[in-house]
Amino acid sequence: MADTLKNPKDTPNPGRRRFLTAATTVVGAAVAGTMAVAMIESLEPTAAEAASASTSVNLEPIEPGMQVTVPWQKKPAIVVNRTPAMLATLAEAEQKNLLKDPQCDVPQQPPYCRNRFRARKPEWLVMVRICTHLCCIPHYRPKRASVAPWWLGGFYCPCHGSMYDLSGRVIKGSPAPHNMAVPEYVFSPDGKAVTITTMYKKAHLC
């Protein structure tokens, strides 16, 4: 299975292998779209097919505070249902001057997501969970003080210690240069699903 999901630079990557395990456990619960793990295992899509595939995610099973990882264009996309308390940490991170690019000046997200939440709707974070340092898969660590005493919640990359807030904005002192990438996506008219469509062209994964 690891051979079918290669990282963006086609280099061996232990973090991506960990993603495969995590994605397999969640996709059955939340993915209603075109790509499923079984399909990835049994088919070898062409590069063009993989690059154009969209993935729809049912939001209804995703409880507040929960993260779901889904395979999308051979990448680990995530959807996080952020609580009001989690959203409050984003302003706190800015006030404490923790972030390298708090205003998202580097175009790592579509223009409609250039805000504190890096999202169309504040509570829903849709992002590619690939560390911008060397393409590892950061861990979701939403609880305060779960990584360090000052930790507000976010994503922690154990490979070389990069840290991100709960919007995927990189924290100062991390080896990662940029915020994690946000893809293009749309919500269904009833707001019960999100479809991740294409990679934002200006964004760099790693």
Q: Which residues of the chain form contacts with ligand FES (CB under 6 A)?
A: 131, 133-134, 136, 157, 159-162, 175-176
Place of tokens 């690019």: 101
CB of 201 vs ligand FES, minimal distance in Å: 23
CB of 159 vs ligand FES, minimal distance in Å: 4
Buried b (16+ CB within 10 A) or exposed e, 84-117: eebbebbeebeeeebbbebebebbbbbeebeebb
Residues 6+ apart with CB under 8 A from 132: 108, 162, 170, 176, 177, 178, 179, 180, 181, 204, 205, 206
Q: Which of 139, 160, 178, 204 is catalytic?
A: 160
CB of 173 vs ligand FES, minimal distance in Å: 11
Q: Residue 160 catalytic?
A: yes
Residue type, position 148, single letter: A
Give the nearer residue to ligand FES in terms of CB position, either 70 or 134: 134
CB of 188 vs ligand FES, minimal distance in Å: 33
Give the nearer residue to ligand FES in terms of CB position, either 98 or 131: 131
Give the nearer residue to ligand FES in terms of CB position, either 104 or 157: 157
* Distance in angstroms (rounded) separating the CA atoms of residues 2 and 122: 34
Cβ-contact 77, 127 below 8 angstroms:
yes
Give the nearer residue to ligand FES in terms of CB position, either 5 or 30: 5
What does DSSP assign to residue 111? G
In terms of phi and psi (left: phi > 0; alpha: psi -120 to 50; beta: otherwise), the region of 205 is: alpha
Q: Indicate which residues carry an active-site annotation.
A: 160
